[in-house]
Structure 1
Amino acid sequence: MHSTKYLSKIMDEMPIGPYHKKLLAISGAGFSFTSMEVFVIAFTLPLLISSWNLDPAAAGFLGSASLLGMLIGSYLWGYISDRWGRKASFELTILFYSIFTGLSAFAPNYEVLFLLRLLTGVGLGGCLTVDTAMLSENIPSKHRGRYMVLLDAFWPFGQILATALAFFILPDWRMLFLVAAFPALFVALLRRFVYETPFFLAKQGRMDELKKTLDKILIQNKTPMQYSLPAKPEEEKEGTHSYLELFGRKFRKDSLAIALLWISLNFGYYGIFIWLPGIFASLGYSSIELYTYILITAVVQFPGYFSAAYLVDKIGRKKTLLLYLFLSGIFALSFGMVHDTLSMLITISLMSFFCLGAWGAVYAYTPELFPTHLRAKGMGWADGTGKIAAIFSPQIAGILMAQYSLFIALLVLGGSFVLGAVSLFILGRETKGEAFE
């Protein structure tokens, strides 16, 4: 491997331009499709339960199939991306999602649909991991925090799109899966025109390719800039290309801190949002009211992201996360304590505002904890470990609601956000302004 210290200075002097904005949009599409998957399953599960006479356990496993796939995909694509590059993985992950989402429309039975949903998740897990590495390694450090939060701000677009498609297409769940596959196929084609990241090329010592890539980016941005590359970059000790390096002395504390943070966010988020349509339905709201309320919780996420995008660069990643996680927990619990429609909408909207703002901040924070040769694996470790919590969270929430009450379920789910803030306060470090290695 080769040192990338010289490249950090070049990248930090590069102005933001059209290439960076195009990359943000193309990367963000992967986040939108992941969000759409979560809510497509939430809307179609009741129909599948009645059509195929599924018991609660079978329905729960089917709902978790794509999450299990995301767990596998996070680890798998994180390794592939660090070993062989971001660009190929960037193209293949979204194609994986598109193909298996489309095939889900033709599933003849429960077992086949479960397998196809799992394979869909493998692609989506890669999107969250690889897209983060791809974008973060192209953005100057002074803009990186804001851009990484804006990357996650594409998430509510998926929720809105899934809600709209479900409203117009359901009860034909097969058509819903088929329609959901086509936008991703278009994005997969667009990703062919994105370049390998400069940091990956520099780490590999591919200097001719690095110069061509930097020149192409500057041409697209229409911002000429003088720079010089070393004829022979400094050699560094070869990494292991193994996840085990994350648990060595240098990265052990960061790896633990980020895993606990992702577990807390995944447990709280998926436990609440997977059940949200069912919660509103169980309270007697009509289909129109249900879809309207889900849309409201999506729309309020945008100012949550924009406020977090401002704060991560103003007060830092850690302080922003501490604030937003704590308030997510408070308003999740408040949602379980109120009973009139207006109060429920206000509390769940505020929870959605702060929870998704925290998600944006964690995508700014995570890639900054790891060097280039471990960045995608670090993201894969964080996202994959978090998905373990996401798989079990909806089932735990369902049991708590059935045996106790909605309040008890939200006490546990909201408490997860607060515990995440506590663990970050104790173990986490600030990364604002740090140059990439």
Structure 2
Amino acid sequence: MSVTANSLPTGVQVVQNLPWRWGVQGKIFIIGGLGFMFDAWDVTLNGALIPLIMKEWGLDRSTAALMGTSNLIGMALGAFVWGTVADRIGRKKAFTWTLLIFSLFTVAGSLAPNFELFALFRFIAGFGLGGCIPVDYALVGEFTPTKQRGKVMTAMDGWWPVGAALSFFVSAMVMTVFGNWRLILLSMVLPAILVFFVRLHVPESPLFLIRKGQDEEARKVIDDLVLRTGTPKVEYTLPSSNEVPRLSAGSIGEQLAGIWKFSWKITAVSWALFFTILLVYYLALTWMPSILQQAGMAANTSLFMTAIMAAVGLVGVIAAVAIERVGRKWILGVTGPLSGFILVLVAWSLGTPSTAIVWLLVFGFVVQICIPVLYAYVSELYPTELRGSGFGWASTISRVGAGFGPVLFALYWPVIGLANLFLIATGLVLLAVIFMAIAAPETAHQELE
């Protein structure tokens, strides 16, 4: 009995049904995760640098915060642009160039003679690194077997607290030993350059190759994956190029029209959740070293304490596996507002440093339960053809909010007080989760479209 082409699996199905091997897909997960780690490292570095550049150039708090704003706005722009670039030049090339641009302009930032140039270089470095999240997620997801994809993509979030913790730990060590904030930037570039060269050996995504009509190259990658995972060879077909989804969904207008036309409620909920929950997190990362120093803690100690807060978040990511058993909405509804209120408790207890540190560690744990669930939930709210653009735009909105939020925070901190500012941020999160409860469905245990 002959086997017809229609009865054969596609090359995409072959890749998605391969067994997981740490020496094959695991390497791509680690290399992609390192890019995600550097994204976290760079974002949290703003919090370490702000009090240092204030002293270097005699800046007030709100002016220094513009450095973080320029960096995050660059990341927001990069997240959109690099998704489209990756569709044109390939996941692998985009995967590599994002980190190279980041490294070059981070070095330039370490040599900047004034604040204006420093902020510009931080913007361009952010633009390069901003492409890591969408490109890394796409590349890792396209090589990960279907059965393991949920766990692997959730585990990608574990690289964030690792990067955040390293950022503050390395900053504290450099300042302790050398006392020079410019070396903090250079210390991040060295491992980033090593990852750049490692990335040169990552195979191109077969999905991208198929989409570009490079069937022979796609078959080489797929056959190599089959061989290296120890799977028996099977015959397969390749889908037509227009059947393979792109990383980006088209122009800005097409993306926005698509996600709002699909459901204005789901898109509004996604943007509200990303904006408010990540605003709380970025406020903590940006201002916690300055808050602790103003409360009387030594600069190096404040960096170490913020690093421990971020490291505790890794335990929260591990705890987030409960999302398969408990509804996404329920977890977000509890951990979102709770993480904000814990920061209020931190502000109230600054007069007793030991108590403030305890609440800070609790915050690091709770917020990192919330964020992986947020990522999973929003990506599941959209159908396949809109999932990339829906998640990407929600992420971009969070970066814009995180960019301008710390500046407003700095302006109003002396006016209405630290605890009241955190209370306002908590109130925004509470409004967002109430809106979610009313307007968005639960996605746990539901089959994705």
2:135 — aligned with what? 130
Whole-angstrom CA distance in 2 between matches of 1:207 and 1:221 = 21
Given candidates 332, 343, 346, the residue that maps to 2:343 is 332
Give 2:181's aligned amino acid: W
1:380 — aligned with what? 392
Given candidates 167, 180, 185, the residue that maps to 2:172 is 167
Residues 228 and 275 of structure 1, relative CA distance in 2, 3 Å threshold? same
1:208 — aligned with what? 216
Whole-angstrom CA distance in 1 between matches of 2:85 and 2:231 = 33
Whole-angstrom CA distance in 1 between matches of 2:245 and 2:13 = 21
1:243 — aligned with what? 252
Structure having greater relative contact order (Cα 8 Å, sep ≥ 6): 1
1:99 — aligned with what? 104
Residues 86 and 382 of structure 1, relative CA distance in 2, 3 Å threshold? farther
Gaps of 5+ in 2: 1-8
TM value normalised by structure 2: 0.86
Residues 128 and 186 of structure 1, relative CA distance in 2, 3 Å threshold? same
Whole-angstrom CA distance in 2 between matches of 1:311 and 1:8 = 30
Verify the 8 A CA contact 1:83 1:241 in the aligned structure 2: no
Residues 229-248 of structure 1, C-alpha deviations (whole Å, 9 max, x = no match) = 25768869999722333323
Residues 215 and 260 of structure 1, relative CA distance in 2, 3 Å threshold? farther
Verify the 8 A CA contact 2:95 2:199 in the aligned structure 1: yes
Residues 15-66 of structure 1, C-alpha deviations (whole Å, 9 max, x = no match) = 2112221112111112221222233332222222222222334212123221
2:92 — aligned with what? 87
Verify the 8 A CA contact 1:82 1:375 in the aligned structure 2: no
1:392 — aligned with what? 404
TM value normalised by structure 1: 0.88
2:4 — aligned with what? none
2:201 — aligned with what? 193
2:159 — aligned with what? 154
Q: Within 5 A, what are the aligned runs for 1:38-437?
A: 38-170=43-175, 171-204=179-212, 206-224=214-232, 226=234, 228-230=236-238, 241-246=250-255, 247-248=257-258, 249-250=261-262, 252-308=264-320, 310-315=321-326, 317-338=328-349, 339-368=351-380, 376-431=388-443
Whole-angstrom CA distance in 2 between matches of 1:133 and 1:368 = 15
Counterpart secondary structure, 1:300: helix
Verify the 8 A CA contact 2:275 2:401 in the aligned structure 1: yes
Residues 27 and 430 of structure 1, relative CA distance in 2, 3 Å threshold? farther
Given candidates 19, 25, 30, the residue that maps to 1:20 is 25
Residues 316 and 202 of structure 1, relative CA distance in 2, 3 Å threshold? farther
Residues 228 and 315 of structure 1, relative CA distance in 2, 3 Å threshold? farther
Verify the 8 A CA contact 1:317 1:365 in the aligned structure 2: yes
Whole-angstrom CA distance in 2 between matches of 1:428 and 1:30 = 32
Verify the 8 A CA contact 1:254 1:427 in the aligned structure 2: yes
Residues 232 and 393 of structure 1, relative CA distance in 2, 3 Å threshold? closer
Verify the 8 A CA contact 1:198 1:214 in the aligned structure 2: yes
Q: Please identify, of 29-38 and 271-280, the stretch whose mean Cα deviation from structure 2 is larger.
A: 29-38
TM-superposed deviation, 1:139: 2.2
TM-superposed deviation, 1:373: 6.3
Percentage identity across paired residues of the two chains? 29
Residues 397 and 231 of structure 1, relative CA distance in 2, 3 Å threshold? closer
Q: Give the paired residue count.
A: 432
Compute the RMSD of aligned alpha carbons: 3.0
Residues 232 and 166 of structure 1, relative CA distance in 2, 3 Å threshold? closer
Q: Please identify, of 212-221 and 170-179, the stretch whose mean Cα deviation from structure 2 is larger.
A: 212-221
Residues 189-221 of structure 1, C-alpha deviations (whole Å, 9 max, x = no match) = 111222233443445554433332222223333
Q: Please identify, of 13-22 and 369-378, the stretch whose mean Cα deviation from structure 2 is larger.
A: 369-378
TM-superposed deviation, 1:186: 0.9
2:5 — aligned with what? none
TM-superposed deviation, 1:314: 3.2
Counterpart secondary structure, 2:121: helix
Whole-angstrom CA distance in 2 between matches of 1:411 and 1:237 = 42
Give 1:188's aligned amino acid: F
TM-superposed deviation, 1:144: 2.1
TM-superposed deviation, 1:355: 1.3
Residues 249-278 of structure 1, C-alpha deviations (whole Å, 9 max, x = no match) = 336554433222211222111122211011
Given candidates 24, 32, 38, the residue that maps to 1:33 is 38
TM-superposed deviation, 1:136: 2.2
Q: Please identify, of 204-213 and 288-297, the stretch whose mean Cα deviation from structure 2 is larger.
A: 204-213
